[in-house]
Amino acid sequence: MNSDKVMLIRQLKLQLPKGKSAFLWGPRQSGKTTFLKKLFPKAVFFDFLLTDLYIEMVKTPSLLRERLLSIESSPQAKFPVILDEVQKVPQLMDEVHWLIENTNFHFILSGSSARKLKRGNANMLGGRAWQFHLFPLTFREIKSFDLLRALNHGLLPTHYLEEEYHRSLKSYINNYLKEEIKEEGLTRNLPAFARFLDALAFTHGELVNYSNLSRDCGVDAKTVKEFFQIMEDTLLGTLIYPWSKRTRKDSISSMPKFYLFDVGIAGKLTNRCITQEKGIEFGRAFEHYLLMELLAHRSYTGLDYKIQFWRSKNGQEIDFILGDGQIALEIKGSSRVDKKELHALNVYMEECPSRKAIVICNESQPRKIGKLLLLPWKEFLEQLWDGKIIG
C-alpha cells in the first residue's frame, strides 16, 4: 500500500507555550520519531536507539549539557531539544532539569514507557513538562480507511502499510513484548510473563480473572496484577473498569477488562484472520478497534472522560459508558441489528438514564428505536471527532 494514501496529519496537536517542555509517550512504532521530525525539522535531535550515543550518554550524562551550551546562541536553540527514547537513559533527567531552570532550552522527551524512569527514581521534572500520548493510527488519519485491513494488520503505521504484516506482527510480539520487557528489567520472571501473554490472548476483552490467570502462568495473583501494571506502564494495554454507580436492581461486576493497545497485536496473539465483516471474531475485533478510537480521541482532545463498561449480576452488559454515565455505547458488528440484541441497553437506560444511548453498528444508514440511536460506525466516528458525541 502506498504511504501517501494512508498518512494525513496526525490528530495529536502538540502545541506548547513558549519555553514549555513536554513528555511524548507512545508504544514503539506508533510514529513518535516521524511525528517529531516532521513537526520540528530544525530541532536538535538525540536518538538513544543509536548505540554509540546511548553508551556515551550513559557513561557521561554531562555531555548533554555541554553540547547544548555550545549552541545556546544559535538559531537552533529556539526549537525544543528532542530526546527520543529517553527512558533508556534516566541519568539525563537531572541534566534536563538543570537546563530548563538555568537556560532558555526547552525539551520534548519521547519514549515508550515512563516505568523505567519512575522505578529508577529518575527526575520527572516536577510538573515542569506537560504530558502527551501518541496512539496508533485513527480513522481520521487514513485516506480510504479499510476496516478489515485495520483489524488484521493493526494500526501501527508500518504494520497497516505492509502487505507482509504477519511477519512484522510476529516480530513485534517476540522482539518487543518479550525481549525488550526483559532488557529493561521490568520483570524478573520472563517465562511467566510469556505465559501470561499467551493466556491473555484468550481472555482479551473479557472480565479479568486473576485466579485463573495465575494458575495458567504458574505465579500468584499478585504477580499477575504486576504483569498487568507493566502492560499499562509500557503503554501496551489498558484496563477498563466497570461503571461504579449502583443500579436499583443489580450490582455491577467489580472485575475490569483488559485490552491491548492495538487490534492487530491482539489478533496475532490468537492467530486470528478476519475475512469478512461478520461473525464472532469480527465482532470482538470491531469492539476493540472502536475502543482504540475512543482512547485516542479522549487523549488528543484533552477531554479526559472516563471510559468504563456496565455489567449486571445476571450477565447483561453494555460495552462502554462514557463520562459519568452520560453516554452508553453498545457495539454491534452485524449489518442488521435485531431489537432483541438491544435488551441490555434498554435495561440500562431504565435504571441509569443517560444523555445518549448509541448503538454503533455495521448498518448502512442511521435509525432510531425508542430512545436508542443506531449509527453506522463511520458516521459515529465522524461525529466523535467533530465533537458531536461528547465534548
Grid cell digits, residue 33: 520519531
pLDDT for the residue 178: 67
- Is residue 289 a contact partner of residue 136, using CB atoms and an 8 Å limit? no
Nearest to 87 by CA among 57, 67, 113, 66: 113
Q: What are phi and psi of 61, to 5 degrees?
A: -60, -25
pLDDT for the residue 81: 98
- Is residue 21 a contact partner of residue 130, using CB atoms and an 8 Å limit? yes
pLDDT for the residue 180: 65
Q: What are phi and psi of 144, to 5 degrees?
A: 50, 55
- Counting Cα atoms < 13 Å in the Cβ hemisphere of 22 gives 18
DSSP, res 126: G
- Cα separation of 247 and 52, whole Å? 59
- Cα separation of 197 and 192, whole Å? 9
pLDDT for the residue 42: 95
Task: Let me know if 243 is exposed, middle or buried by CB neighbors in 10 A (0-12, 13-18, 19+).
Answer: buried
- Read off the pTM: 0.93
Pick the CATH number of 3-133 from 1.10.10.60, 3.10.105.10, 3.40.50.300, 3.30.1490.20: 3.40.50.300
pLDDT for the residue 1: 67
Task: Let me know if 174 is exposed, middle or buried by CB neighbors in 10 A (0-12, 13-18, 19+).
Answer: exposed
In order along its 391 residues, the chain shows pLDDT tens digits of: 655 555 568 999 998 998 899 999 999 899 999 999 999 999 999 999 999 999 999 999 999 999 999 999 999 999 999 999 998 898 999 999 999 999 999 999 999 877 767 665 566 787 789 999 999 999 999 988 999 999 999 999 999 999 999 999 999 988 876 666 766 566 678 788 888 888 888 889 999 999 999 999 999 999 999 889 888 888 889 999 998 765 445 545 679 999 999 999 999 988 999 999 999 999 999 999 999 999 999 999 999 999 999 988 788 899 999 999 999 999 999 999 999 999 999 988 888 777 899 999 999 999 999 999 999 999 999 999 999 999 8
What is the phi-psi region of residue 160: left when phi exceeds 0, alpha when psi lies from -120 to 50, beta otherwise?
Answer: alpha
Q: Is the dihedral of CA 239, 245, 246, 247 positive or negative?
A: negative
- Is residue 84 a contact partner of residue 48, using CB atoms and an 8 Å limit? yes
β-bridge pairing 317-322 and 307-311: antiparallel
- Cα separation of 134 and 129, whole Å? 16
Using only C-alpha atoms, the chain has a radius of gyration, in whole angstroms, of: 22
Domain ranges of the chain: 3-133, 139-385
- Is residue 33 a contact partner of residue 15, using CB atoms and an 8 Å limit? no
